[in-house]
C-alpha cells in the first residue's frame, strides 16, 4: 500500500483556544481566558521537533492551522508560533498554500501583518450567517459589521485568497433567510466558499436543547430545499462545486482539504489533532494541560490505529466520492495494486442502478441525484472491501 512509504506533504496544526464556545461546536476548543498559551506553544514545538525527527518532512505543499480560533493569539504569540512552524517544516514548495482559520473580529491589522510576514497566504473566516439574529442564536459573538471590517483588514494586509464558511439547517432559519445570506456572501466576490449543514453533535448546548425538544430545526424537506438553493445560487454566480460543501473560482480549491479527500498522508499536531502517517492514523490527547505534560516525555498520542488495506480502500471511496470529480480507478490501482471494480464491483453496480453513481472517464462520481444523499452512498462501502479480502 503506497501510504506506508509516503512522506506527508500536508501539515495540520491545532490551536485550541476560542473567545467563547459556540452552541453547536464539539471541536476540541477551550475558552481562552486564563489559558497557558505560551506553554501550549512550547509544547507544540516539542511535538513538532519529535515528529519531524521521527518522520522527516520533505517538501511541504499545504499547511492548515485550525481550532478553536487560531487568530485569538496575540501578535507576538502569533509571530512566535509561525517562526516555530517554519523551523521544523522549512522546505516549502513554490506556491505552497498556508491557510489559517479566523473568526471575524479577531484579526486586527497588526496581527494580519504578522501572519502575512510568517507565510500565511490563505484565510478561512467562520462567518456562518449574515443574519445577526441567527448569529446570536447559535452563540457566535461577531456580527455582520465585524465580518465586513475583518475582510477589509485582510485585503488591506494583502490577502486575496480568502474563504468564508456559511451554515444552513440552523434553528429558526428559513429558506428565505438562507438565500439572503448567500446573496450577501456572494456580493463579496471571494474566491472560495464552504457551506455546511448543521450537525447536532453530542456534548454541545444544541444537543441538550434537541434532547429536550427545544431546538426548532428546519424540517428535512426544507433543509433539502436549502441545499438546492445553495447549488442554484453558487452556479449562477459562476462558482464550481468541487466538493459536496465547497465552491471555488478556478484554481482556488482548498488544496489542503483536497489532500484529505484524496486520502493522502498528513502530519497532525496539537491537542486533539488527528494525523495519518506511514499507514497509521493517530489522535492526540485532547486536554490542554494533559497535552502539555505529555510532550515533556514523548509524543502526546492518545491512540494509534494501523490502517489495514481493506479499511484504506473503503476510506478512499468514502472521502473520494465527496469530490465532484469522483474517484479515479488509476489512483486506486496505484495505491492498492488492484482494480477498483475487483473490490467494489457489486456496490458500484448497485448504486449506478439506483441512479446515485455514474461512470466517468477516470472512475466514478456521485450523480446530481446522489449528491444530497452522499452520506447514504458512502455508508454502502463500509465493510465491503473486508468481505472481499478475508
CA quadruple 366, 370, 371, 374: dihedral sign: negative
Q: Are 56 and 92 in contact, with CB atoms under 8 Å apart? A: no
The set of cell numbers assigned to 351 is: 448504486
Cα–Cα nearest to 331, from 386, 261, 244, 277: 261
**Structural domains of the chain sorted by starting position, each given as residue range(s) with its CATH number in brackets:** 2-261 (3.20.20.70), 309-389 (1.10.10.920)
Cα–Cα dist 373/223, whole Å: 12
* Cβ(97)–Cβ(256) below 8 Å: yes
Instruction: List 126's β-bridge partners, or say none.
Output: 165
Tens digit of each residue's pLDDT (9 = 90 or more) over 126-179:
999 999 988 888 888 889 999 999 999 999 999 999 999 999 988 888 999 999
Element of type H or E holding 173: none
Note whether 268 and 48 are within 8 A (CB): no
- Residue ranges of the chain with per-residue pLDDT less than 50: 390
DSSP alpha helix (H) spans, 157-308: 175-186, 205-211, 220-236, 255-261, 288-295
Helix (H) or strand (E) holding 388, with range, is: helix 384-389
Distance separating the N- and C-terminal Cα atoms of the chain: 17
Q: What is the pLDDT of residue 127?
A: 95
Query: Quick check: 124 and 99 in contact, CB under 8 A?
Result: yes
Q: Hey, is 253 helix, strand or coil?
A: coil
State the pairing for strand pair 17-18/60-67.
unpaired
Task: Give the helix ranges, DSSP H, for 121-219.
Answer: 132-137, 144-156, 175-186, 205-211
- Give the bridge partners for 323, in sequence order: 243
pLDDT value at residue 274? 97
Q: What pLDDT does 390 receive?
A: 43
As a whole number of Å, the CA-based R_g of the chain is 21
126: helix, coil or strand?
strand
Q: Which stretch of DSSP H or E encloses residue 352?
A: helix 340-353
Query: Are 1 and 41 within 8 A, CB to CB?
Result: no
| Beta strand 301-306 pairing with 274-277 | unpaired
3-state secondary structure 302-339: EEEEECCHHHHHHHHHHHHCCECCCEEHHHHHHHHCCC
Q: What is the DSSP letter of 3?
A: G
pTM of structure: 0.94
Secondary structure (3-state) at 16: coil
What is the spatial distance between Cα 282 and Cα 273, in angstroms, rounded to a whole number?
A: 8
Contact 169, 198 (CB under 8 A): yes
Distances (CA, A) of 140 to 24, 27, 143: 10, 15, 8
Amino acid at each position: 500500500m503506497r501510504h506506508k512509504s509516503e512522506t506527508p506533504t500536508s501539515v495540520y496544526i491545532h490551536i485550541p483556544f476560542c473567545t467563547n464556545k459556540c452552541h453547536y461546536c464539539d471541536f476540541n476548543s477551550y475558552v481562552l481566558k486564563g489559558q497557558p498559551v505560551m506553554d501550549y506553544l512550547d509544547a507544540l514545538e516539542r511535538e513538532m521537533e519529535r515528529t519531524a525527527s521521527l518522520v522527516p518532512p520533505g517538501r511541504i505543499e499545504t499547511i492548515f492551522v485550525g481550532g478553536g480560533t487560531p487568530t485569538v493569539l496575540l501578535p507576538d504569540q502569533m509571530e512566535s508560533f509561525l517562526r516555530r512552524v517554519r523551523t521544523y517544516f522549512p522546505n516549502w514548495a513554490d506556491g505552497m498554500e498556508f491557510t489559517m482559520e479566523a473568526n471575524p473580529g479577531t484579526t486586527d491589522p497588526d496581527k494580519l501583518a504578522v501572519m502575512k510576514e510568517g507565510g500565511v497566504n490563505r484565510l478561512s473566516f467562520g462567518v456562518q450567517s449574515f443574519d445577526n439574529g441567527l448569529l446570536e442564536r447559535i452563540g457566535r459573538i461577531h456580527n455582520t459589521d465585524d465580518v465586513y471590517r475583518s475582510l477589509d483588514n485582510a485585503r488591506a494586509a494583502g490577502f486575496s485568497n480568502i474563504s468564508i464558511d456559511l451554515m444552513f439547517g440552523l434553528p429558526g432559519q428559513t429558506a428565505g433567510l438562507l438565500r439572503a445570506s448567500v446573496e450577501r456572501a456572494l456580493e463579496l466576490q471571494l474566491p472560495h466558499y464552504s457551506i455546511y449543514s448543521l450537525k447536532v453533535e453530542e456534548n454541545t448546548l444544541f444537543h441538550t436543547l434537541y434532547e429536550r425538544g427545544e431546538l426548532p430545526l428546519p424540517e428535512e424537506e426544507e433543509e433539502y430545499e436549502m441545499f438546492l438553493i445553495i447549488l442554484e445560487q453558487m452556479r449562477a454566480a459562476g462558482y464550481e462545486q468541487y466538493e459536496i460543501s465547497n465552491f471555488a473560482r478556478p484554481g482556488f480549491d482548498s488544496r489542503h482539504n483536497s489532500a484529505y479527500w484524496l486520502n493522502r498522508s498528513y502530519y497532525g499536531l496539537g491537542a486533539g489533532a488527528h494525523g495519518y502517517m506511514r499507514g497509521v492514523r493517530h489522535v492526540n490527547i485532547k486536554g490542554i494541560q494533559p497535552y502539555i505534560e505529555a510532550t515533556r516525555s514523548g509524543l502526546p498520542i492518545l491512540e494509534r490505529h494501523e490502517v489495514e488495506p481493506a479499511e484504506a480502500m473503503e476510506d478512499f471511496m468514502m472521502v473520494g466520492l465527496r469530490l465532484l470529480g469522483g474517484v479515479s480507478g488509476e489512483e486506486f490501482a496505484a495505491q492498492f495494486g488492484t482494480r477498483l471494480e475487483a473490490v467494489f464491483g457489486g456496490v458500484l453496480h448497485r448504486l449506478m442502478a439506483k441512479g446515485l453513481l455514474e461512470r466517468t472517464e477516470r472512475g466514478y462520481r456521485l450523480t446530481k441525484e446522489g449528491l444530497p444523499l452522499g452520506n447514504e452512498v458512502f455508508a454502502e462501502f463500509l465493510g465491503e472491501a473486508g468481505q472481499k479480502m478475508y
